[in-house]
Structures are given as C-alpha cells and as structure tokens.
C-alpha cells in the first residue's frame, strides 16, 4: 500500500551539497617559490625607486635654491585672493563703528574713575585719614 501512495505523489527530493573549498593544501616548495618571487619583486621596486630618487636629487638641488621664492610667491597670491574676498565696509559703516568704540571707551573711563574715587573715599574712612 505504501508503494501505491509513493507512486501517486511522485515528489522529487533534491540533495543539496554544501560547497567546500576545493583548494589543495599548498606544499612547502610552492610557498617558498612564491616568497622568493615576492622578495625579488620588492628588490626590483627598491632599485627603481632609488634610481628615481637619484634623478630627483639633481632637480631638487635647483628647487632648494628657488623654494623660498616660490613659497613667498604662493603666499602673495593667496593673500591677494583673500583680500578680494573681503567685504569692505562703506564710509558710513566705518564712522558708525569708530563712534561706537569711542563711546564704549569713554564709558569705561568714567566707570573706572568713579569706582576709583569711591574706593579711595572708603579706604580713607576706614583708616581715619581725611
């Protein structure tokens, strides 16, 4: 009876295999040759770098002489650009700010003189001198 039921439904079951790394373990010889190749590549890169540095040294000697001049020129150009970006106040705004600074200064001069006279008077009273 079980055969009849199994034949009627005919469900298919698929087995799914987990993927495994098919990489074979590296042998010591392969690893050693790869290390040697990498070391030789590094040596070649170092030699190329040294030759480039030798070529750059000649041009750097010339640049060392002109370097302060170049830097000063860059400073002047950057300063000029910055001055162009500044929003300069009008004549009216300038006078308003000058007057406000004068008034502010006069206020504190009067305040300091007033406090000085008050403390002078109080110390003379405490000490009994007239």
Which pLDDT value is given to residue 9? 60
Give the up-direction half-sphere exposure of residue 95: CA atoms within 13 A in the CB hemisphere: 3
Please answer whether residues 123 and 117 qualify as being in contact, where contact means their C-beta atoms are separated by less than 8 angstroms.
no
List all residues 6 or more positions away from 121 whose beta carbon is below 8 Å from its beta carbon: none
- What is the residue extent of each domain of the chain? 28-86, 89-130
Give tens-digit pLDDT for 75-90.
999 999 999 999 989 9
Q: Residue 71: is its pLDDT beyond 80?
A: yes
Contact 124, 130 (CB under 8 A): yes
Q: What are phi and psi of 47, to 5 degrees?
A: -65, -45
């Amino acid at each position: 009876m079980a055969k009849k039921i199994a034949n009627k439904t005919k469900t298919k079951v698929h087995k799914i295999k987990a993927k495994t790394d098919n990489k074979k373990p590296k042998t010591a010889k392969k690893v050693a040759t790869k290390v040697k190749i990498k070391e030789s590549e590094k040596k070649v890169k170092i030699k190329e770098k040294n030759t480039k540095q030798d070529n750059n040294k000649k041009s750097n000697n010339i640049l060392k002489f002109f370097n302060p001049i170049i830097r000063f020129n860059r400073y002047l150009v950057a300063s000029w650009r910055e001055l162009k970006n500044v929003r300069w106040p009008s004549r009216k705004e300038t006078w308003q700010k000058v007057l406000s600074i004068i008034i502010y200064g006069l206020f504190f001069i009067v305040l300091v003189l007033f406090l000085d006279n008050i403390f002078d008077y109080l110390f003379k009273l405490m000490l009994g001198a007239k």
